Amino acid sequence: MERVVLVTGASSGVGLALCRRLLEEDGRIHLCIACRNVQKSEATRDLILATHPAARVSTVEVDLGNLVSVLRVARELRCRFQRLDFVYLNAGIMPNPHVNFKALWHGLLTGKVLHMLTTAEGIMTQTDRLNGDGLQEVFATNLFGHFILVRQLECLLCGNEKPSRLIWTSSSNARESAFSLSDYQHAKGQESYSSSKYATDLTSVVLNRKFNKQGLYSSVVCPGLVMSNMTYRILPVFLWKLLMPIMWLIRFFAKTYTLTPYNGAEAHVWLFKQKPEHLDALVKYHSCTSGLGKSYVEPRKVNGAAAFCCRGLG
């Protein structure tokens, strides 16, 4: 039987590259792409079919930051499919990013600049806001909307003949220091993206504890630093073009500088080929690229996940 694969945030960047790479791995899958509006969904479908004309590609419209939209698309998917084999929870936003050049300069002087450039720790902030549901926009879009979607699709994900998979797109910017259980929506801070991605890491761990016995397995991946629409909003495009030769050089020292969406999707595709029972629930799988351009996957423990589970918060 064909495998059904749902990908959110499929219209560009890692999401679009992932769709193409999945079809290269298995052209028999039924690929369902989820985008925020009909125009993006149809345009993305046309792009995919241009290179994979025999592929079976369907579309759904969903705004992960709007609960009414999430509940509506869940109903549509339950009517359309009898099961889902893979759900790639990839959609995300980083609104109004700002770079702290003073902190970057300080990192250069103190020898911490490589760490800062690979994690964005201390140099990147965002301005968040409430959405129409009264939730912090970044938290709602990057995590909560996906979480509600998963819970609404349990009947398609659990109890199937073969295990079903959730694969969350996290970030190298996901840091325990940016997250607090007392402010899990990050309403009081300025690193909402980092907080939402670390919360994503923990959510994946907890979902495994709850659903593995029902045949549903969750994994989390980091695409590394990818040049995408989201990245280009951090700095003016002309400045990125000036910096690109330097970034290619940095990749000899920072393997998470995957740079292209194709390379960034390496861990996503690698997990597509693995047996979930053999994976470590406390590990995040990182897409990496060597200085000479060879892509590979590196597993790393999720910071603080074991302690989080030991406290009984799962």
Structure tokens at 226: 């990818």
Active site residue 184: no
Out of 193, 198, 262, 285, the active site residue is 193
Strand intervals (E) in 205-294: 216-222, 283-289
Q: CB-based contacts of 94: which residues, under 8 Å, 6+ apart? A: 126, 138, 193, 230, 233, 234
Count of beta carbons in the 10 Å neighbourhood of residue 155: 12
First to last CA, the chain: 34
Distance of CA 21 to the CA centre of its chain: 16
Residue 26 phi/psi, 5-degree rounding, is -150, 100
DSSP 161: S
Residues annotated as part of the active site = 193
